[in-house]
Amino acid sequence: MPKKRIYYNEFRRALDSEPVKPVYLFTGAEAFLKEQGIQAIVDKVLKPSDRSLNLECLYAGTDVSGREVCSRALTFPFLAASRVLVVRQAEKWRSGDITDLAGYIENPCLSTVLIISSQEERIKQVYWKAWAAQAYHVECYPLFDSQVPGWIERRVSEHGKRITRDAVNLLIEQAGQTLGDLENEISKLVNYTGREGLISEANVREAAGHGRQNTMHELNAALGRRDSAQAVKLTGRILAEGVPFLKVLGSLAWYLRGLHTYRIRLEAGESSEKLPAGVRNQAARRDMDRQVKAYRLNEFPIIFRELLRLDEQAKTGKSHLELLMQLAVMKICGQNTICG
């Protein structure tokens, strides 16, 4: 079969115009994109009425070997032209499982669409690389910061609505940048706004109420004001309520990057009255202006190193993450006390 390695957006465009391939490999950390891609293939290959007999979903590992997947992939469809076999968590397979699949991928069953999904962000092992080179390899990585607002706007438009840029920014601030979390919040907003065609910043605040999301907004504001006591208190409350550590960290990083951008524009000579242009409420504009001026431009590289350190500590399994984040918040808020 022809070799192909592409990113998710290219894959979605190609799926509309190209024939379905016999073997797909989805890799990368963005689980939402992978599931969207798998669903798109299923929708193209199988009618809803055919799925109960011709759609099979398995999880790789000790219970499902590569050899067993080959055997199942050779099964013919029942009362349909094709069948789909989805295997998730392929990163759990050992080299022998991948070797067993190598023979199948060279001569796949053309009535079966085999979809392999792995959480691995990048294929590193030699046996994986050789196998992936033969599959239609779709890489699903998290979007860049600059791509997230446009993605939200497109998802909202697919529901027949529009969303203001202020609402987009607040939604990211509250929910973080993980697409699955954002998708959940978009669904809530669509239901909350009913027949209204435009989702506003006020809608986002109202839908959030006084729960976790509103508390996250309060934490960002406290950090912006360099109110260390309030920021530490809110950090502890949010994490105690079960909000994932990386979600809180992502929200803080997004907010501080926004302050950094505004500060750069301020240093370049722009009037503080225009920062940020999207905030219409005068009290909110004054508060944001104070937050932008509360941080010197040369502090931001140190702040971002502190956030990166937190990210590394979380991903390497460090304990006492709540305490580590509270200490980091104190350093960020403190005047000239951030450790480099």
What is the structure's pLDDT at 127?
A: 61
User: What number of H helices and E strands is found in the chain?
Assistant: 16, 8
25/132 same-domain check: yes
Q: Using one digit for the tens of pLDDT, what is the confidence trace for 253-305?
A: 888 888 888 888 888 877 666 655 445 455 666 777 788 888 888 889 999 99
> Does 167 map to a domain?
yes
- Mean pLDDT calculated for residue range 20-32: 89
193/317 same-domain check: no
What is the structure's pLDDT at 110?
A: 92
Global pTM exceeds 0.85: no
132/147 same-domain check: no
Residue 5 in tokens: 């390695």
Residue after which a domain boundary falls, among 89, 111, 139: 139
CATH of the domain at 264: 1.20.272.10
Eight-class DSSP state of 198: E
Is residue 111 predicted with pLDDT exceeding 50?
yes
Q: Residue 339's pLDDT band (boundaries 50, 70, 90)?
A: very low
10/135 same-domain check: yes
312/198 same-domain check: no
330/240 same-domain check: yes
Q: Residue 135's pLDDT band (boundaries 50, 70, 90)?
A: confident
> Does 158 map to a domain?
yes
97 versus 232: the higher-pLDDT residue is 232
Judge contact between 108 and 114, C-beta under 8 A.
Answer: yes
Of 97-106, 125-134, 143-152, the one with minimum mean pLDDT is 125-134
188/111 same-domain check: no
What is the structure's pLDDT at 336?
A: 41
Residue 17 main-chain phi, psi, to 5 deg: -115, -20
Residues 6+ apart with CB under 8 A from 50: 77, 79, 80
> Does 102 map to a domain?
yes
C-alpha 328/C-alpha 105 separation (Å) is 49
- SS3 call for 136: strand
> Does 339 map to a domain?
no
Tell me how many domains the chain contains: 3
Arithmetic mean of pLDDT over the chain = 83
281 versus 36: the higher-pLDDT residue is 36
Of 6-10, 60-64, 176-180, 280-284, the one with minimum mean pLDDT is 280-284
Q: Which domain holds residue 157?
A: 143-209
279/257 same-domain check: yes
Exposure letters 19-48 (e unless 16+ CB within 10 A, then b):
eebbbbbbbbebbbbbbbbbeebbeebbee
Judge contact between 169 and 279, C-beta under 8 A.
Answer: no
9/117 same-domain check: yes
- Mean pLDDT calculated for residue range 214-219: 76
